[in-house]
Structure 1
C-alpha cells in the first residue's frame, strides 16, 4: 500500500492520481505510447545542444571569431524554443496518457486538469477507433470518491471509475 496523501492538497491528490493512471490503463489492456514524451525530449535536448555548441565555440575560439555562428545558433535556439512552446501549448495540451489497445484497435488519450481550491479531478477521455471514429467525454471525478478519509487512494475504485467512463464512451452513439 502506498503512503497517504493530504486530501486537502489538490496538488498531492492530483499527483497520486496521475501516478496511478498508467497502471489503470495497463490493467484495461492499453499499452502506453511515449511518442509525445519522446518528441518533447528531442526538442528539449536540441535546445540544450544548440546552447552547448554556442558556449563551446565562444569559449574555445573567442567571441569576436564566432559572431556569425553565434547569430545562427541564437536564431536556432529561438526557433527551437518556439517549436517547444507550440508543441506544449497546442499539440500535447495537457495529455497525461496516450495508449493503444490491440484487442479492439483503439487509441486513447487521457487529459486531466485541476482547479485550485476545488476537490475535483477534471478528466477528458478521447478514444479513436480503428476506422477513425473519435469519441470523447469530459468527466469530473470528486476526490472523495476514490480517496478514503486517511488519504489512501482506493485503487480498485479508481480503476472501476475509469473503466466505467470508457464503457460509457464506447456505448455512446455520435
Structure 2
C-alpha cells in the first residue's frame, strides 16, 4: 500500500520485496520486534502492507539529526548506532540499537525533526512506517491503530523513565 507522500529512503538502502507473499514475511518480522511481539498474527498481518522493508549495508545513514522525514524504523536484523551532534561540530555515540528494537517513534507521531543520527553498524534489515501510512492505518483500522499508538506511548514512557534515571546520576 502506498502513501500519499513519497517516503524518504536513505542512499544505500535496497527494497526487500513486495506483494502479498512478502507481506506474510513482514508480519513474521514484526512478530520478532519489541513493539509488535505481543500482537496477534492477524494484527501483524494487518500492519504488514503499510510497512516498507529494506536492507542496508554497514555505514548507511538511515536518518540524520535535524532531518524531518516523519518515519519510524523497526530494526529486524543487524544493529544501528545513534549519534548526537555536539557543540564542536562532532558527534557523540549515544547507544547501539539491536535487532527487535525501534527508533524514530516521536518523528512518526509529531513530524518533527529527528533528535539523533542513526547509522547502520552492521548489515541490517529495517521496516519503516511513514507518518502517512500510520494515518492510513488510523483511518482504515482504528482499533489496530489504537493498539499501535498505545504501544508506542508505552515505549516512549519507558525510555523517558530510563533517561530520567540516568540524568539523576549527573545532578
TM range (shorter): under 0.3
TM-score, length-scaled by structure 2: 0.26
Higher share in strand:
2
Give the number of the structure whose alpha-carbon radius of gyration is greater: 1
Higher share in helix:
1
Instruction: Kindly indicate whether structure 1 or structure 2 has the higher relative contact order, using CA contacts under 8 Å at least 6 residues apart.
Output: 2
TM-score, length-scaled by structure 1: 0.25
